Homo-oligomer: A and B are copies of this chain.
């Protein structure tokens, strides 16, 4: 295959064969895998099935000018595993639906698939089916993820109660800084240089908090949970809406790492506002009742290097407030895709 070959040179059947050749052998609970009209799977015993779907669209969620194609594949699965994690579920399988422009290089398509499969392997997620269509416009990578969760371990957005502590995993704002940094590199025409910096890595290859979600569900440590796809502010808003509560966030407590602070301060931007508004952190935002803080401590011993930071408290009054240097402000708006 010459390196400049495009998917138009291959045809649909050959593209599917190429993808299948990269997929490892299916686990025993996959009764019918890739290659028939549909996949057939044994349900997990004593568990409910969990489903989510999310798409990455070229020109909206990624730009091939500064996104390595394997990062597109990684992220398309990661955003879905993040949704499963927010329910306390264990990933089991995924379906991949691609809309592919005919001019896409075959090696880029291979890299998209390989990026997805590498993350899938780390989370024991079997690719059991999919679909390849031609796109007259952008590359669209649509993933459906399938997980399992026991009934009593389901985490939902509803359930937070006044007095619960509000926690967030990892760091916020890094992905927004990373996007900004990637864009700047691309504009400078240095798009071929390897992406560097912790912020860019967080933007390009977010790590879904699967283990944390499972542990929060298993231990019943969290009263409510959501994943941060559209920014901390939007996550808080959705959690508050579902739980019918308000929040008081301490700006000083937000886990914003040094690289992120430096990125925003170097540009005269407010790191706290950027971290609230910036999307795509794919961290878990969750609430813990004061009586369950011990369970949370046990969880955190098991999640290794991933920190969870208390950033505020759930309030009965339904306002969304950030306290900063003694001043209370209303939470800024989150990221909105159509505006």
Chain A positions within 8 Å of B, measured between CB atoms, are 7-8, 10-13, 15, 31-32, 35-43, 47-61, 83-84, 86-87, 89, 93, 95-97, 99, 102, 128-138, 140, 142, 144-147, 149, 151, 154, 156-157, 225-227, 242, 336-339
Contact = CB atoms under 8 A, between A and B. Distances in A.
A36 to B, nearest CB: 5
Tallying the copies of this chain within the complex gives 2
A60 B242 CA distance: 39
Given A32-B87, A38-B147, A151-B31, A136 B53 contact: no
Contact of A48 (B42, B54, B102): B42
A128 to B, nearest CB: 6
A40 to B, nearest CB: 5
Which A-B residue pairs are the 8 nearest by beta carbons? Answer: A137-B137, A38-B52, A43-B43, A37-B86, A59-B136, A144-B144, A37-B83, A53-B95
Contacts of A43: 43, 47-49
A36 B242 CA distance: 9
Nearest to A158: B36
Residue from the set A31, A51, A131, A151 with the largest chain B CB neighbour count within 10 Å: A51
Contacts of A41: 48-51
A218 to B, nearest CB: 16
Given A37-B157, A39-B50, A131-B54, A12 B86 contact: no
A51 B93 contact: yes
Contact of A49 (B40, B54, B102): B40
Nearest to A7: B338
6 contacts: A31-B151, A39-B51, A53-B95, A56-B133, A57-B133, A136-B138
A125 to B, nearest CB: 13
Contacts of A47: 43
A10 to B, nearest CB: 7
Given A10-B338, A338-B8, A38 B51 contact: yes
Given A38-B83, A43-B43, A50-B40, A337 B133 contact: yes
Nearest to A61: B133
B134 A135 contact: no
A13 B146 CA distance: 24
A26 to B, nearest CB: 13
B36 A87 contact: yes
Nearest to A86: B37
B57 A99 contact: yes
A48 B55 contact: no
A337 B13 CA distance: 9
Contacts of A99: 55, 57, 99, 140
A130 to B, nearest CB: 6
A51 B146 contact: yes
A15 B133 contact: no
Contact of A32 (B35, B97, B137, B154): B154
